[in-house]
Structure 1
Amino acid sequence: MSCHQFFYSFTIVRLSFNFQDYKIKQCKLAFGRGLLVAVAQLLFYTALVDLELATVSALRQTNAIFIVLITVVFYGEKVRAWRWGAVIIGYGGAIWIMQPGSNVFIWTAALPVGAAIFYAASTVTLRSFDKSISSGIIYFYSSIAAALGAIILASGTTDFSTIQSKSDLFLIFSMSLCGGFGVVFLMYAFRQAPASMLAPFSYFGILAAFGLGWVIFDELPLDKLFPGVILITLSGLTILWREERNKV
């Protein structure tokens, strides 16, 4: 799917930029970001084998917590009590959903959290790019690395299997198309609008995943999600609210 997303990213960038715009000084950083995305995608899609769509989506939203931790470690950002409290609450929500140590815990429950860590790292790296570099070009370079990284990771961790039917091929292309354009739209949005305005739409993904999982796969993991999902959502929104308030 990462390879298909690379094709779409090339199409998007080719329609928007000239070839001389492809040369950037921070190509290594862009490639590194792509590798982070490849690992995150591997963990995320592997988790979907054993976990409900809504559960994976909820744990994926812990990336806001890890963004705070990564910026503290690598950027020396100062975090006050409000955000530390939000981090602890969000972590507690993730633990509540995962239920480690109980008889219902499965190791794949840790995979969405691992994906959130790598997605958070890929998000934080955007701070290191020059403002003059467009979001489309960053996505193009990242997609190349993500596609190559996905091929390497897949060849070393799974057996190759051919696409069995036209419906499977259609689903894979549809996923890639939606994912590719979705990432580009998000990158443009976060560069143009305050994060606090966009965050609620991100958490709407949990509701969408819950609805789709219920309608399509007959999944209704209410006992797993609540109240952990509420804590994760509250944590992420609090972190973004405090970040925007500190900018004022």
Structure 2
Amino acid sequence: MTIDLTSATPAPATAPARANDPRQAALLAVFGMVVLSFIDGFVPVIARDVGLWQFHATRSAMVLACLLPAAVVLGWRVRPVSIGAVAVRSCLVAGSMLLYFAAVAVLPLAQVAAGLLTAPIFVLLISWGFFGAQIGPWRVLAVILGFGGVLLVLRPGGEGVSVLTFVPVGAGALYATAAVATRQYCASESEVTLVAGFFGAIGLCGVAGLAVLSGSDSPPAIDGFFASGWQPWTGPALFWTAAQALVSMIGIGALFRAYLLAEASHVAVFEYTFLIAAGVWGYVLWGQVPDALAVLGMVAIMAAGVVIIKRSGAA
């Protein structure tokens, strides 16, 4: 999954004029979030047979094999304006998604989504701490509300809590750092460049992970999704990895189109559909039912994110 949460910081004043269709943009954003959350729900199926690194290396190869020829045919610009900035941004997003998918394999999907969607909170804190952004009382309260929601979802000190429980929040923090880097250093890059850079980076991470774990021939059921080396492909694992590649491109494409049709602050609010859809798919696919406190925490995280995004142009 890839979600554009960069809208938590103000857009550049020189942004080009775009078509304005907020209703279609909202529908596209909701569609993108629903299909992305659906396909992410099948990561546990993949994790039964192959490891995290094999999954990412193969999925990235599939995506790039489709994206790069399409870019040549359609004339999309892939070459970065700043190779260094795109490389750093791509590594940050790749790190975030490695943590996200590692968590999705073993934790309830809604819980992982809640952790990832803390990104706007971290964007605000990074923008304030490192770039002197003025945040004002409303967004301070939103940060407090959001972290209160995280505590309700994760419940540190409760039964069944481990280091892995906090991995989704780490994914959100890394994604937030990438979001700030995108705004500050990659504003001139095309969306195709950023997508290709991300899949290239996470694909290389997959290859590197497989190289390090080349001596491990135990399946994920024994070594775990994160520590498993190359495994023989099974039909279900290969099918759902290919489905991940295809559906991810469709979902991300819908989201990118939404950002072309309406203001970023309008579209970003609908990205929180991902958290709602993740809860629904988690129940439909796996019977995962968050308790009342977890639901309250997710609502708090969504409310905090919406406040931060909608007030991103005010102090």
Q: TM-score range by the shorter chain?
A: 0.7 to 0.9
1:88-125 CA-to-partner distances (Å, cap 9, x unmatched) read 11011011111111223222110110111111122222
Quick one: distance in 2 between partners of 1:136 and 1:77? 29
Q: Which residue of 1 aligns with 2:105?
A: 49
Residues 153 and 295 in structure 2, CA contact (< 8 A), matched pair in contact too: yes
Q: How far apart are 1:56 and its partner, in Å?
A: 0.9
Q: Which residue of 2 aligns with 1:199?
A: 268
Q: How far apart are 1:128 and its partner, in Å?
A: 2.8
Q: Which residue of 2 aligns with 1:149?
A: 205
Picking from 191, 202, 225, the partner of 1:135 is 191
Quick one: distance in 2 between partners of 1:123 and 1:185? 19
What code does the residue aligned with 2:289 have?
A: L
Q: Which residue of 2 aligns with 1:5?
A: 63
Gaps of 5+ in 1: none
Alignment of 1:141-220 (within 5 A): 141-153=197-209, 155-156=211-212, 158-190=227-259, 193-220=262-289
TM-score by length of 2: 0.70
Residues 54 and 213 in structure 1, CA contact (< 8 A), matched pair in contact too: yes
Aligned Cα RMSD in Å? 2.3
1:229 aligns with 2:270: no
Q: Which residue of 2 aligns with 1:124?
A: 180
What code does the residue aligned with 1:238 have?
A: V
Q: Which residue of 1 aligns with 2:126?
A: 70
What code does the residue aligned with 1:237 have?
A: V
What code does the residue aligned with 1:36 have?
A: L
What code does the residue aligned with 1:34 have?
A: S
Quick one: distance in 2 between partners of 1:234 and 1:88? 11
1:207-245 CA-to-partner distances (Å, cap 9, x unmatched) read 21111111111111234522101110110000011114x
Quick one: distance in 2 between partners of 1:111 and 1:154? 21
Aligned length, in residue pairs: 244
Quick one: distance in 2 between partners of 1:32 and 1:181? 25
Q: Which residue of 1 aligns with 2:85?
A: 29
Residues 81 and 188 in structure 2, CA contact (< 8 A), matched pair in contact too: no
Quick one: distance in 1 between partners of 2:80 and 2:108? 41
Quick one: distance in 2 between partners of 1:83 and 1:6? 39
Quick one: distance in 1 between partners of 2:201 and 2:233? 27
Q: How far apart are 1:188 and its partner, in Å?
A: 4.8
TM-score by length of 1: 0.87
Gaps of 5+ in 2: 1-58, 213-225
1:14 aligns with 2:96: no
Q: Which residue of 1 aligns with 2:41?
A: none
What code does the residue aligned with 1:230 have?
A: V
The alpha-carbon distance between structure 1 residues 132 and 113, as it changes in their structure 2 partners (threshold 3 A), is: closer
1:15-42 CA-to-partner distances (Å, cap 9, x unmatched) read 4326xx4443311111111111221111
Q: How far apart are 1:205 and its partner, in Å?
A: 0.9
Quick one: distance in 2 between partners of 1:12 and 1:50? 35
Q: Which residue of 1 aligns with 2:15?
A: none
Picking from 147, 153, 156, the partner of 1:100 is 156
